[in-house]
Amino acid sequence: MRYKPDDYMVMVANCIPVKGYSRSIIYDLYRETFDFIPNDLFDLISKYNKQELAQVFGDTPSEFHHVLDEYIHFLLEKEYILLTDRPNELACFPDLNLEWDMPATITNAIIDIGSARFDIADYTGILRDLNDLGCTHLQFRFFPGYDHRMALELLGALNDLDMLVEVLIPYDPSQPPGYYVNLYRQFQKIQSITVFDFHGNLDFFDSEDYRPFAQYVRFTAEVISDQSHCGIISPAYFSVNIPMFTESLQFNSCLNRKVAVDQFGNIRNCPSLTKSYGLINDSDLKQVVHSEAFRECWTLNKDKISICRVCEFRYMCTDCRAFVPNATDKPLRCSYNPITCEWN
């Protein structure tokens, strides 16, 4: 790939470099991937975006020109920059609009159900409220001791609502594993099922009938007895895209527009957070989520979290606010150190 000294380099607007303590990342929000870059390349892009290459070379001591050449080739090859030799074309490339908004008042919800007994009507009432609030993503987490018949009724109640559900459920040894595949097939709103505490074998997925469902119905030996398994931060959960990036810039990437009901019927920001806003059988969910107090944690973005604020992953990483020593500390379940760039 060729370039000329009188070319101007233009950073592609939906690829955004983010600086970390020891290295930076270009977030490719369009192709939904990313590349690590050294911090001096970050500085170079910030300083010389929409400037003439001749100037970049002029400002750089000649013994570093070969590094510069490498950088430019890398940016061109990844199509992170485009070149133009016409200065009047520069105005055609505006920055990305960084606004984030969604029509839903609540975008996602977690409902935990364990051995505590509430009326099915209390739960269906919550589902209807969530639907009115525009919620489209629901997680049902059933813990040991849950009432299976009620679970089936609740899954059925979703048929008339505008939301998809992820289900987490303990394995019942009296059922063949195929039972859970049939659940997936039977309830149209189930997006995925994770069956935990399963220690058998999964040979049945080899059969023609079941194979297509293996990606939606997962089995794991992990034992999940309550909400405390949540909040793990790992590259497997990173997501690079415009909604995630723009939401993280302003809001908490886990709690913003989320509501949860813990297994004891408490309305909370998340099942693992301690503050309760009332029980489902005597509080109005809609009122709760419109209250200032409930929304306070929504604006706790990564720039306010110590250590995370200098981490290059901060706008692709889900921020857990439940498992933290102090309100604005880095999540305990993240083992990444942005100073050394190592996962411990």
Partner 1 sequence: MILVVSEKNDQSTYEVMQWLKRYNVPHFRINGEDVLNIKMLDLNKEVILDVQGNEIPLSKVSVLWYRRGSFNFRKSVAENYEGIIDTESKVLNNYLFKYLDTKKHCLNNFLYAFVNKLYVLELAQDAGLNIPRTFVTGNKGYALDYLKNEREVITKIMGSQFLIRNTGTIKMAYTEQVSDQDINGFADSFFPSLLQKRISKRYEIRAFYFDGRFYSMAILSQGNKKTETDYRKYDHELPNRAIPYQLPGEVEDRLKVVFTKLNLNSGSADLILDNNHHYIFLEINPIGQFGMVSKPCNYHLEKKLANHLINHGAEYDVTLNEGHRCKGK
The binding site for ligand SF4 (CB under 6 A) comprises: 230-231, 233, 254-255, 270, 272, 302, 307-308, 311, 313-314, 317-318, 320-322, 330-331, 334, 336, 338
For ligand SF4, the closer CB: 251 or 336? 336
Q: Which does 70 bind (CB under 5 to 8 A by kind): ligand SF4, partner 1, none?
A: none
28 vs 312, which CB is nearer to ligand SF4?
312
- Smaller CB distance to ligand SF4: residue 49 or 220? 220
* Closer by beta carbon to ligand SF4, 56 or else 270: 270
| Contact between 230 and 215 (Cβ < 8 Å) | no
Q: Closest distance between ligand SF4 and the C-beta of residue 12, in Å?
A: 24
Beta bridge partner(s), residue 10: 82
Report in angstroms how near the CB of residue 271 gets to ligand SF4 at its nearest. Answer: 7
Closest separation in Å from C-beta 333 to partner 1:
31
**Are residues 83 and 232 in contact, defined by beta-carbon separation less than 8 angstroms?**
no
* CA 253 vs CA 62, 235, 258, 320, 326: distances in Å: 44, 15, 10, 8, 18
Distance in Å, CB of 293 to ligand SF4, minimum: 17
State the Rg of the chain over Cα: 24
Min CB(30)–partner 1 separation in Å = 6
Q: Which does 105 bind (CB under 5 to 8 A by kind): partner 1, ligand SF4, none?
A: partner 1
Binding site for partner 1 (CB under 8 A): 12-14, 30-31, 79, 82, 86, 89, 91-99, 101, 103-105, 134, 242, 246
Nearer CB in complex with partner 1: 93/213:
93
Report the partner that residue 82 touches, choosing among ligand SF4, partner 1, none (CB closer than 5 to 8 A by kind): partner 1
DSSP string, 132-167: HTT--EEEEEE-TT--HHHHHHHHHHGGGSS-EEEE
Q: Which does 119 bind (CB under 5 to 8 A by kind): partner 1, ligand SF4, none?
A: none
User: Could you tell me the smallest distance in angstroms from the CB atom of residue 334 to ligand SF4?
Assistant: 3
Max Cα separation, the chain?
75
DSSP-derived pairing of the beta strands 8-11 and 81-84: antiparallel
Where do the H-state alpha helices sit in the chain?
A: 39-48, 53-59, 65-77, 120-132, 148-157, 178-186, 242-250, 285-290, 292-295
Q: Which structure tokens are listed for 146?
A: 């849950």
C-alpha 248/C-alpha 25 separation (Å) is 15
